[in-house]
Amino acid sequence: MYKILEAEVLAERTYKMIVEAPNVAHACEPGQFLIVRAEEESERIALTICDFDRVKNTVTIVFQTIGESSYKIAEKKAGDSFADVVGPLGNPAEYVNEPIEEVRKRHYLLVGGGLGTAPVYPQAKWLKEHGVDVDVIIGTKSKDTLIMEQEMIDAVGEDHVFVTTDDGSYKRHGMVTTVIEELVKEQGKHYDMCVSIGPMIMMKFCVKLTKELGIPTTVSMNPIMVDGTGMCGACRLVVGDEVKFACVDGPEFDGFKVDFDQAMKRMKLYKTEEGRRLLEYQEKGGGGCHSR
């Protein structure tokens, strides 16, 4: 059993939990995820890692309630336990395994949209701790849905965090792409790499802009993961000319090569039983809905 040490509500339907999970904490790196089961009979839920502490043997998860399984997780309180916390799964962010001298030569722009702010945090923290220049954009619908602003400021500094809200209720008014244009075109900032994590539509338009600006961009395809082990096929996507699975081949990919339209269409179909059957029929023998 994996004990929950802290549990809090960050915003409406958005929860943060710190969980005792020594094996995961000692092995995980930014960009990876884990699988949680609330109870023995519960569904497996793939969740990105928001933070980890190797000294305290803990990992932090931030998630939203969507279906029955996520509500069961949200009902847990400090002192309760999860049946399973398995990980780390997926591949770390690419820079983790690169020579740090090369990484330090770059200026990173990290873009978190909505819940995507949570997995952006460990990346911002890691980069700053390793002496890498980094700016962070946090995009959210409104002030009420904003999460982890102070944590991000503590990690990289207030002058390097740029918050924008769709409705203009806090800080800037507009989408994350508006802030990217402001930083590059108006403030003259140069970025060597962008990492964008958030809703599919946000990442799509972020990549469209960064491609125009000539900023190589990595995206995390964790929004389309279900099983987390490559067995269900829900996270099948096309990257360049190849078929990939977000959970085992990613979750991070070259954003310029991801077919977002195909991925979003597939994700929509997968949410219904009829849609899953259609995908299974269309992709039989080709690494589709129930094969890897």
Q: Which of 216, 267, 212, 222 is nearest to 246 (CA)?
A: 222
Q: Are residues 205 and 102 in the same domain?
A: yes
Report residue 194 as tokens.
Answer: 């962008």
Q: Are residues 147 and 236 in the same domain?
A: no
Q: Are residues 213 and 267 in the same domain?
A: no
Backbone angles phi, psi at 253, to 5 degrees: -140, 165
| Alpha-carbon dihedral 19, 248, 152, 214, rounded to 10 degrees | 180
Give how many domains the chain has, as a whole number: 3
Q: Which of 85, 116, 110 is nearest to 14 (CA)?
A: 116
DSSP string, 189-256: ---SEEEEES-HHHHHHHHHHHHHHT--EEEE-GGG-SSSSSSS-TTEEEETTEEEEHHHH-SEEETT
Burial of 136 (0-12, 13-18, 19+ CB in 10 A): buried
Q: Are residues 197 and 178 in the same domain?
A: yes
Q: Are residues 53 and 126 in the same domain?
A: no
CATH value at residue 33: 2.40.30.10
Q: Are residues 189 and 121 in the same domain?
A: yes
Q: How do residues 53-88 score in pLDDT, each as one tens digit?
A: 999 999 999 998 888 888 889 999 999 999 989 889
R_g of the chain, CA atoms, integer Å? 18
pLDDT computed for residue 254 by the predictor = 93
Give the three-state DSSP class for 132.
coil
Q: How do residues 124-136 score in pLDDT, each as one tens digit?
A: 999 999 999 999 9
Q: Are residues 80 and 101 in the same domain?
A: no
Q: 233: Cβ–Cβ under 8 A, 6 or more apart, which residues?
A: 245, 279, 283, 287, 288, 289, 290, 291, 292
Angle at 65 between CA 64 and CA 67, to 5 degrees: 135
The pLDDT confidence band at residue 290, using thresholds 50, 70 and 90, is very low
- Domain boundary among the residues 57, 72, 89 is at 89
More confident residue, 289 or 35: 35
The pLDDT confidence band at residue 170, using thresholds 50, 70 and 90, is confident
pTM, two decimal places: 0.86
pLDDT computed for residue 188 by the predictor = 95
Task: Output b/e per residue, 88-114; b: 16+ Cβ within 10 A.
Answer: bbbbbbebbeeeeeebeebebbbbbbb
CATH value at residue 110: 3.40.50.80
> Mean of the pLDDT values across residues 100-104?
96
Cα separation, 172 vs 178, whole angstroms? 9
- Domain boundary among the residues 89, 110, 144 is at 89
- Domain boundary among the residues 24, 58, 89 is at 89
Structural domain boundaries, residue 14: 2-89
Q: Are residues 111 and 176 in the same domain?
A: yes
